[in-house]
Amino acid sequence: MDNGYKLLNNADVKKFLIENIGEESIDVIKTLLKKENVTDEVISEETGIKLNTVRKILYKLYDYRLASYEKSKDKEIGWYIYTWKIDISRIKSIIKENKKRILRELEKRLEYEENHVFFYCKKDNMKLTFEEASERNFVCPKCGSMLEYSENNESVEKLRKEIEKLKREIEEL
């Protein structure tokens, strides 16, 4: 599974795994790439990660459909044994979908920022639209201070740059 190790070295993949599954997920995945159909106990022993943590990571990987398991019954003790395997080939498409969702949210935010005028309370760090501010006679609803006009060109520009960056990242995936 050299391709799996190659994926693990990708910056976007590492960032996604660490942020969404946890830093220790990298070691768990490496163990799963080395050995197919391995138990959580074996992963725990090989990585030195607590068994409960390994299980949490495995179930998170399973939720993303990056790992799967087979369940069998131990004939001697009657307990179920779960053996795990990894398939991280889908991870880039998962990351791409995640980035697209964030992009849609940023684009909505940009549209909102571009289509509204804002007023701001310095004391309470509160930002209100023109409509909200005028309903309150341009007085802060928390502290009673006068609201001041707030220029949002900086916010709009920051959002535009973030959107362009995200579009490039999606294109590169």
pLDDT, one tens digit per residue, over 23-45 is 999 999 999 999 889 999 999 99
Mark 137-167 as b/e (b = at least 16 C-beta within 10 Å): ebebeeeeeebeeeebeebeeebeeebeebe
The mean predicted confidence, pLDDT, of the chain is: 94
Side chain identity, residue 121: C
Residue whose structure tokens are 């993949």: 13
**Same structural domain for residues 65 and 106?**
no
Residue 20 has pLDDT above 60, yes or no: yes
Q: Is residue 29 within 8 Å of 17, Cβ to Cβ?
A: yes
Task: Name which of 158, 161, 171 is nearest 99 in CA terms.
Answer: 171
Side chain identity, residue 85: K
**Same structural domain for residues 62 and 101?**
no
CA distance 165 to 8: 22
User: Final residue of a domain: which of 62, 86, 110?
Assistant: 86
**Same structural domain for residues 76 and 122?**
no
Domain range for residue 12?
A: 2-86
User: Final residue of a domain: which of 37, 52, 86?
Assistant: 86
**Same structural domain for residues 166 and 134?**
yes
Residue 1 has pLDDT above 90, yes or no: no
pLDDT at position 147: 96
pLDDT at position 130: 96
CA distance 107 to 101: 10
Measured over the CA atoms of residue 109, residue 112, residue 115 and residue 118, the dihedral's sign is negative
Percentage of the chain modeled with pLDDT above 70: 99
**Same structural domain for residues 53 and 99?**
no
> CA of 4: how far to CAs of 13, 18, 98, 168, in Å?
11, 16, 20, 24
Residue 3 has pLDDT above 80, yes or no: no
User: Final residue of a domain: which of 29, 60, 86?
Assistant: 86
**Same structural domain for residues 60 and 129?**
no
pLDDT at position 2: 60
pLDDT at position 45: 97
- Pairing status of strand 67-73 against strand 38-39: unpaired
**Same structural domain for residues 7 and 77?**
yes
**Same structural domain for residues 7 and 74?**
yes
pLDDT, one tens digit per residue, over 129-168 is 999 999 999 999 999 999 999 999 999 999 999 999 999 9
CA distance 135 to 156: 25
**Same structural domain for residues 116 and 138?**
yes
Q: Is residue 85 within 8 Å of 68, Cβ to Cβ?
A: yes
Percentage of the chain modeled with pLDDT above 90: 84
**Same structural domain for residues 72 and 99?**
no
CATH (domain of 71): 1.10.10.10
Query: How many domains would you assign to the chain?
Result: 2
Measured over the CA atoms of residue 41, residue 42, residue 43 and residue 47, the dihedral's sign is positive
Query: What pairs with residue 17 in β-bridges?
Result: none
**Same structural domain for residues 6 and 82?**
yes
